[in-house]
Structure 1
Amino acid sequence: MQLITDTVQLEDAIAHFRNQDGFAFDVETTGAHRGVPAVNEVVWISLATNGRTVVIPMGHPNGYHLLRKATRRKNKRTGEWEHLAAEWEEPPPQLRPSTVFDALEELLFSERMKVAHNAPFDLLSVAKYYKGKYPPPPYGDTIVGAWMLNENRPIGLKSLDKERWNLVYDLEEVGRCIEKHGFGTVADYAYMDAASTWLQWLKIRPGITAEGLEDMWALEMDVLACLLHMGSAGVPVDIKALEQLRASLRERMTQCEGDVYRAAGKVFNIGSTPQKQRILYEEQGLRPRKLTKKGAPSTDAEALEPYKGRNDVVDAILSYQEVSKILSTYVEGYLGNPEDDKPTQIFGGRIYPILKQYGTVTGRFSSSRPNVQNWPRAETEWGKAIRDLIDPLEGFCLLVADYAQIEQRILAHFAGKGALWQGFWDGVDAHTATAAAVFGVAPEDVTKQMRQVAKAIAFAINYGAGPQKVADMSHTTLRRAKQILAEHERQFPEVYAYKKRLLRTVRSRRPEPYLRTLLGRKRRLPDLLSHDHGRRGKAERQVVNSHIQGSNADITKLALVRLNKSRLPGMQILLTVHDEIAAMCPVDIAEEGAKVLHDAMAGPDMQLLSVPVTTDVKICNRWSEAK
């Protein structure tokens, strides 16, 4: 390791990196929101390449040795406890961030490969030192590469190091709060992060080629560039509307709590799971549909959903739990709540969600700080309310589009010609067509209840659910659900043939069963060969889901990339949520922007499926207007 603390050392190091084709880099950040690139403070940066790793501190507050541990003592006068911070020796001289980033600009903004573990975080963290401009491609991201090579394993850097080299370091988790640690400890940690990232890259990148994933790698690196665009600007939100929604939800919570007590005929602690279990499963006599990890009857929404509309206590508890989740997760989770020690996630009127392209095993996005991927569906009351918090800037409007029944279209594509496939070409709604076939009625005679049954069947096919789930979702008996599924198989034999064919193909692959999605992403399902009946059954249920949902992820990511490459001046991609994409566009080019978004998602050269893919772009001031 070379520790750099003066400009002579810095210039010498840059001269070495100047002769390399690429390098890995890693930043260590501090501040109340150290995990948010837009507002954190970079205090260390380390770089590694062939033959050299350098560590550059830029204002670490502590020296090498601890003089006094953090402690607390009682004030003899007031009787209150006082917290005394740890005392360290003085830190060594360090370069200023402006000096370091000025010198590193030629490397970071060159055509050299820039590698990091979770690259969007590091790239966006340094962008603020270049007036918001983030380093250009080419990029390499070891967390994405490791995930593509095996989506079933932990992909944290230290986990990868232990797996590959049996290397264990940073037992103190220094990166969580570097200011709690001494200068030498952080220097060692920063060195290990950069050096091991580069060494992992040298193994991971050839692995991508060996696995036949070059096209998917190119797509994911284009997605990374899209995330940089989205993450650099953030998402403007209506803070006043958020505060009003908080007040409304708190009032609704009080009403829902009263509804629960009236339905149960007594007052109890709604936050107590054991008390809810006693009310629901002993006093109300409900049959548990789901157990917790400890084997107790679950009281979560999934467990209670089958009784919705059948039991007043269940209805009241579900309403209470839904309002509580919306308030806690999507309102106070953004605004913050000092009582629950929740920090705000709004900075300068914007949120900066961390979208993780590697966040699921199927390829779909996950997100955090705040989580936008778990927003309620757009057509629901709360789904509309949460989306309406997005507030386009003055002179801008929202462009919102989603795919129409995309998972059913993917299913029809894979299943091939048949009733489902033909229905899309005839322009018939998939759930309506399914209900008409199963119940033997004309499409125009399909009732709301019939269509709900069709939705339950689609869920069962796509997610490997059984008759009981169909019965619960359709509010019918298990016997009737089995009859419905049998009729569905008679009407749509191509769907069941596809499922059997896919499972047979995936199971036959060695040494580890896997499938490929529409664009070639690999999804590994080793438990298909398990001798454990439960694990094998779960893997079998995941086969079709992974094929369809993974292909859905492919299509959505490709649409984002196409939009990012074709967006008009002034357009900003804001979010992707479920199958929706939202962008902000100057009002005077809204129509042109809508066409760009439409073509990115379902234009003439986006015909990946053998059935038509449709999307409807709405120009609006509030997201709810898109539905």
Structure 2
Amino acid sequence: MRLRLGLGLGLGLGLRLRTKTKTEVETEEEVLLPFRKIGDVEHHYSAVITQSDLEKLIHKLSKAEEISFDTETTNIDANLAELVGMSFCIKAGEAFYVPCPANQQETRKILEQFESLFIDESKIWIGQNIKYDLLVLKWYGIELKGKLFDTMLAHYAIEPEGKRNMDLLSEKYLRYEPIHIDELIGKKARQTKSTGESQGNMRDVELEKITDYAAEDADITFQLKETFTSLLKKEKVEKVFNVIDNPLVKVLTDMEFEGIRIDEGFLKNYSVELEKEAAISEKKVFELAGVHFNLASPKQLGEVLFDKLKLDTNAKKTKTGQYQTGEEVLLKLAAKGHSIAEEIINFRELTKLKSTYVDSLPLLINPKTGRVHTKYGQAVAVTGRLASNNPNLQNIPVRTDRGKEIRKAFIPRDKNHVLLSADYSQIELRIVAAISGDKNMCEAFKAGMDIHAATAAKVFGVDINEVTKEMRYKSKSVNFGIIYGQGAFGLADNLGISRTEAKEIIDSYKKEFPGIQNYMNNTINFAREHGFVETLMGRKRWLKDINSANFTVRGFAERNAINSPIQGTAADMIKLSMQKVHAAIKKEKMKSKMILQVHDELVFDAARDEVHELKPLILEYMEKALPLPSDVPVIADCGQGENWLEAH
């Protein structure tokens, strides 16, 4: 049975492979032991075709406490996918595949027969990236009521870095090589461009092949669950998985399903406006250069700036021999008063906004809903933060007025709704104060003071009422820079001041806020001894280079050691608040929906007649989600508007 051959062997190897990740040691046994394939192990995979067999399967599943579940579909985008089939496993080595016809009405009839299972709150549903499967079912009007166990997220808690697709996890922890999707539908389009072939459709795969493929998926996931349950306990990250990441799956499923409405008319007009401004900017660059050239060509741009105009006789070149013309180079030239560099930066901003955001957003509108459905990645960022794509909301520019304008395109579903935007106030600095226990910074937050002004008063030795804008700006840079391990050189470059002045500011900062320097030293020492750092909730970040002999490599690891507990705790906090707000909205049977999450901000499509009730609810759960040490208060703010920009 698969249980003996797969799981029994996998547990031991799984633990050894986990050690390998930390120490980069590979034992001879691991190298020599070959992967097994489907033909090497005893298994029983069957397709469920007849009504009688379907009823028997449902009865069998009804007796199980845990069910490994997977879907096969027509599209990797769950919001556009149709079910091709479902696979189930409740015992290692034995799994079942239920094909679903192209006729959607017939598929719905099959799903209706599983309803008693899907709504059973006592069940535990095991899946690999199970959010996808939940979202597919949600489009058929089905919600799984039971608890979840996502093997992808379990592995993320155990080992935050690296890849974690099912094939890789199976090979690593079970020493088993699954059937590859290429064997069923061919390679992805980008892999077959040379031959002109395109990837096939799962509906076209013969029953025997898709049965083995799908059933094997459910079987592997079932076995990985037991392996990861042991490892979660061994690595002491059960809390991260059970309390934070795993329960968030259903919240994100609902958010992805809802999506957000986009104002296409605004984007169309803004695109025209940006195009006009870009043309004017391009003309100015040519006038300043005294020559027409291809502004999109780094090679031609470098030749104009450094060969023709000779703006920097010591200009650096790339490995290919052409001049470097990136943003950092242009910013330094602009700071020296070269107006052409400033105009090139302006041109690049205009063209990037137009192509990457303004013209791209309408292409992402779902034809079924007329809305944009961003996808959230829970197992991407090593710090615990959520990632998003299609669109990547975290990359939408907010530092410039032009970039902020893009937020105007995100609007409520109709005239009876309004957007709410709630975000944490200076949450990472509050966490720094809390976990460092620095007396001066903690007191400033407790007193409700402007933290950057309070910092400036201490650093420059003046009364808080005498703090100038320049002092506050410099202190703000130190406050945020210290989190990322910024030194005198970086601060000097950032503020445009001498390195001597920057060093004096940092020395004064360390003197007035000694707890923060102690936190940095203690955290680095802990990381060197244990190989990891962790958040308040116990989320670990492994730092394999923390004891590297290479100064640069070690320095990078040390900065990650300082920052990860801070950024990770902020990520844990907003994830906990999302769960609580989502549950409260459901409990109160509100029409309002939580629809977006971007770093420290949550966005809601709120019914106008619920705003007065929803706002305090959001703020209460955000502020109480994760109490901070040293009694540092957590503050959140909530605005509203007819678009995202107005709400924020």
Q: Distance in 2 between matches of 1:583 and 1:173?
A: 43
Q: Equivalent residue of 1:229, what SS?
A: helix
Structure 1 position 145 matched with structure 2 position 154: yes
Distance 1:588 1:608, change over 3 A: farther
The match for 1:160 is 169
CA pair 44-263 structure 1, distance change in 2 beyond 3 A: farther
Contact preservation (8 Å) 1:333, 1:345: no
Question: Which of 253, 259, 273 is 2:278 aligned to?
Answer: 253
Aligned CA distance change for structure 1 residues 346 and 433 (closer, same or farther; 3 Å): farther
Q: Quick one: distance in 1 between partners of 2:182 and 2:319? A: 29
For 2:128, the equivalent position in structure 1 comes to: 117
Distance in 1 between residues matched to 2:328 and 2:183, nearest whole Å: 36
CA distance in 2, matches of 1:256, 1:106: 63
Which residue identity lines up with residue 319 of structure 1 in the other structure? N
Q: 1:24 to 1:439 in 2, by over 3 A?
A: same
Superposed, 1:374-393 pairs within 5 Å as 374-377=395-398, 380-392=400-412, 393=414
Change (3 A) 1:610 1:189: same
Deviations 1:523-543 (A, max 9, x none): 111221334433222111101
Cα distance in 2 for residues equivalent to 1:405 and 1:328:
32
1:517 has 2:535 as partner: yes
Change in CA separation of 1:600 and 1:174 when aligned onto 2, cut-off 3 Å? farther
Equivalents in 1 of 2:272, 2:78: separation in Å?
A: 30
- Which residue number corresponds to residue 102 of structure 1? 112
Within the alignment, does 1:43 sit opposite 2:80 as a pair? no
Answer whether contact 1:108 1:114 (CA < 8 A) is retained: no
Report whether the alignment pairs 1:527 with 2:538: no
| Residue 556 (1) aligns with residue 574 (2) | yes
Give the aligned length. Answer: 580
2:410 is paired with a residue whose SS is coil
Q: Deviations over 1:434-455 (max 9, x none)?
A: 2333333333343333333223
Which deviations, in whole Å up to 9, do the C-alpha atoms of 1:550-585 show, x marking residues without a partner? Answer: 011011111111211222411200111121111122
Cα pair 1:516 1:547 within 8 Å, conserved: yes
Which digits, 9 at most, give the CA deviation of each residue in 1:158-201, with x for residues without a partner?
A: 22122223433417285754417642544443233222222211
Give the equivalent residue in structure 2 for 1:406.
427
Q: Structure 1 or 2: larger helix share?
A: 2
How far apart in 1 are the matches of 2:183 and 2:491?
46
Q: CA deviation at 1:309?
A: 4.1
Q: Which residue of 2 aligns with 1:330?
A: 357
Per-residue deviation, residues 329-361 of structure 1 (Å, max 9, x unmatched):
32222212xxxxxx6556522111111222200
Residue equivalent to 2:201: 179
Matched position secondary structure for 1:167: coil
Question: Structure 1 residue 410: deviation in Å?
Answer: 0.8
In the TM superposition, 1:464-543 aligns within 5 A as 464-509=485-530, 513-543=531-561
* 1:349 equivalent in structure 2: 370
Cα deviation for residue 303 of structure 1 reads: 5.2
State the alpha-carbon separation in 2 of the partners of residues 60 and 293 from structure 1: 54
Q: Who is 1:90 aligned against?
A: none
Q: Contact 2:299–2:322 at 8 Å: present in 1 too?
A: no
Taking structure 1 as reference, are residues 265 and 612 closer, same or farther at Cα in structure 2, changes over 3 Å only? farther
Aligned to 2:62: 18
Say yes or no: does 1:229 pair with 2:249.
no
Deviations 1:458-495 (A, max 9, x none): 33211123333212221223333233222222222221
Q: Does 1:196 align with 2:207?
A: no
Residue-by-residue CA offset, 1:7-29 (whole Å, 9 max, x unaligned):
23322332332222112222222
What is the alpha-carbon distance in structure 2 between the residues aligned to residue 2 and residue 518 of structure 1? Answer: 46
Work out the CA distance in 2 between the residues paired with 1:53 and 1:487.
66
Deviation larger for 181-190 or 519-528: 181-190
Q: For structure 1, list consecutive stretches of 5 or more residues without a partner in the other structure.
A: 62-93, 337-342
CA distance in 2, matches of 1:325, 1:517: 36
The alpha carbon displacement at 1:623 in A equals 2.5
Q: How does 1:199-348 map to 2 (within 5 A)?
A: 199-217=223-241, 218-280=243-305, 282=307, 283-286=309-312, 298-302=324-328, 304-310=330-336, 311-336=338-363, 344=365, 347-348=368-369
Summarize the Cα distance change of 1:610–1:260 in structure 2 as closer, same or farther, 3 Å threshold: farther
Contact 1:413 1:611 in 2 (8 A): yes
Could you tell me how far apart the structure 2 residues matched to 1:281 and 1:315 are? 15
CA contact (8 A) 2:78 2:136 kept: yes
TM-score by length of 1: 0.85
> 1:126 and 2:152 equivalent?
no
**Match of 2:97, SS?**
strand
SS of the equivalent of 1:617 reads strand
| Counterpart contact for 1:58–1:95, Cα < 8 Å | no
Contact 2:299 2:323 in 1 (8 A): no
RMSD between superposed Cα atoms in Å: 2.9
1:55 aligns with 2:79: no
SS at match of 2:98: strand
Instruction: Tell me how far apart the structure 1 counterparts of residues 306 and 490 of structure 2 sit (CA, whole Å).
Output: 20
Q: How far is 1:288 from its partner? A: 8.6
SS in 1 for 2:111: helix
Distance 1:286 1:561, change over 3 A: farther
Q: Is the 8 A contact 1:355 1:365 kept in 2?
A: yes
Partner of residue 565, structure 2: 547
SS in 1 for 2:595: strand
What is the CA–CA distance in structure 2 between the aligned matches of 1:12 and 1:44, rounded to whole Å? 17
Compared CA separation, residues 587 and 554, structure 1 to 2 (3 A): same
Structure 2 match to 1:588: 609
Q: Point out the more displaced range, 208-217 or 113-122.
A: 208-217
Q: Map Cα deviations across residues 11-65 of structure 1 (whole Å, 9 max, x no partner).
A: 23323322221122222222xxx2332232122322222142122333479xxxx
Could you tell me how far apart the structure 1 residues matched to 2:402 and 2:522 are? Answer: 40
> Cα distance 1:192–1:536, how it changes in 2: closer, same or farther (>3 A)?
farther
Cα distance between partner residues in 2 of 1:468 and 1:403: 30
Instruction: Classify 1:128/1:186 alpha carbon distance in 2 versus 1 (closer, same or farther; 3 Å).
Output: same
Give the C-alpha shift of residue 390 in structure 1: 1.8
Q: Secondary structure at the match of 1:616?
A: strand
CA distance in 2, matches of 1:521, 1:624: 33
TM superposition shift of 1:281: 5.2
Percent sequence identity is: 28
* Distance (Å, rounded) in 2 between the aligned partners of 1:288 and 1:220: 50
Say if 1:295 and 1:399 are closer, same or farther in 2 by CA, change over 3 A: farther
Q: Which moved more, 1:587-596 or 1:471-480?
A: 471-480
Q: Secondary structure at the match of 2:492?
A: helix
